[in-house]
Amino acid sequence: MAAALEQAKRGIGQTSPNPAVGAVLVVDGEVVAAGYHRGAGKPHAEVECLAAVRGRVPARAVLYVTLEPCSTVGRTGACTDAIIAAGVREIVVGAVDPNPRHAGRGIEILRESGAQVRSGVLADECTALNEAFNKWIRTGVPFVIAKCGMSLDARLTRVPGEARWITSAAARRHAQQLRASVDAILVGAETVRADNPRLTVRGVYQARQPWRVVLSRSGRLPRTAIVFTDRHSDRTLVFGRTTIRSLLRQLGERDITSVLIEGGGEILGQALDARAIDKVQIYVGGIISGGAVPAFAGRGAATASEAPRLAGVSYQQIGNDLCISGYPEWHERPTAK
């Protein structure tokens, strides 16, 4: 299953609105074929893996797949049909299909065909691989990552006249991998006016360009901005007066499964106040800025007990910078007595 997971990782950022899935075929303890899902409309991992087999599939072969094989016909045929037709009699599944309409159905069909099926092998790792898809397929709302590069005093700007960047070039290259993994990047109008960002993926091999989403109350944006004039201009969306939650639902209806909020502080603060953030990835530069713009410029929590704590926290030093990621744990707000 670990080998299947490595295959699945090759499809991260390429498969939306489908999940990233990997599969390997094992005979006598050796991997004889492998495959992964390369993109929506392309063969699923199981089909690609079985297609790589030379000759007939041996009766003693075991198919390992990170996600329960699909049992319905969509852009492609049902993977359960392909597995049965290939004569695979033993299948090991990582995570069960998160779609409530299909969960467990693929496993049931395979067992009814006479195949032996085990599930739940490295289930946590297989589930975590598709955290964005898992949320979107259940709720219709994209998975939201809040990302920023801030100073030690939690500012997004440095003092006037200083260099633009708070974090190092190495940290910014690291963040490009995050951009490459999402469907859309969200910024506020002030970020477009002040920084004129490209919001493109750079330095990542074969990366897709995410949608660029701008939230503007007034709709008054510089038409000469890069997001409206470069070769990716058809990948830019502008939304007017709407709430973060309404915006996210509209993006979900467009089959956008993941959104990276990059700024500025006002948009990050709105998302925090709306409890719309599923994950944070914050790059902390080794400077004290004293700048005017806080990283999360919202109302904030009334008390420390109301503030979300991070679960699954990880820390990574990148040069002189620190990358902190984790998942906010949202608690019910206390009600007035």
Residue positions annotated with a catalytic role: 46
Angle (nearest 5°) at CA 280 between 276 and 284 = 140
Instruction: Give me the helix-helix angle, 265-273 and 244-253, nearest 10°.
Output: 90
What distances in angstroms separate CA 139 from CA 69, 136, 206, 222, 259, one per listed residue?
Answer: 21, 5, 29, 35, 14
Asked if 137 and 102 touch (Cβ cutoff 8 Å), the reply is no
CA dihedral 225, 181, 275, 330 (to 10 degrees): -160
Burial class (CB in 10 A: 0-12, 13-18, 19+), 305: exposed
Residue with the two structure tokens 């800025």: 289
Asked if 23 and 45 touch (Cβ cutoff 8 Å), the reply is yes
Rounded Cα–Cα distance for residues 178 and 20 (Å):
15
Q: Is 131 helix (H, G, I), strand (E, B) or coil?
A: helix
Rounded Cα–Cα distance for residues 262 and 177 (Å):
14
Residue with the two structure tokens 């899935």: 21
Q: For the chain, what is the radius of gyration of the CA atoms? A: 22
> Which H or E run contains 189?
helix 189-195
Tokens representing residue 300 in the block: 């904030």
Asked if 150 and 125 touch (Cβ cutoff 8 Å), the reply is no
Asked if 259 and 131 touch (Cβ cutoff 8 Å), the reply is no
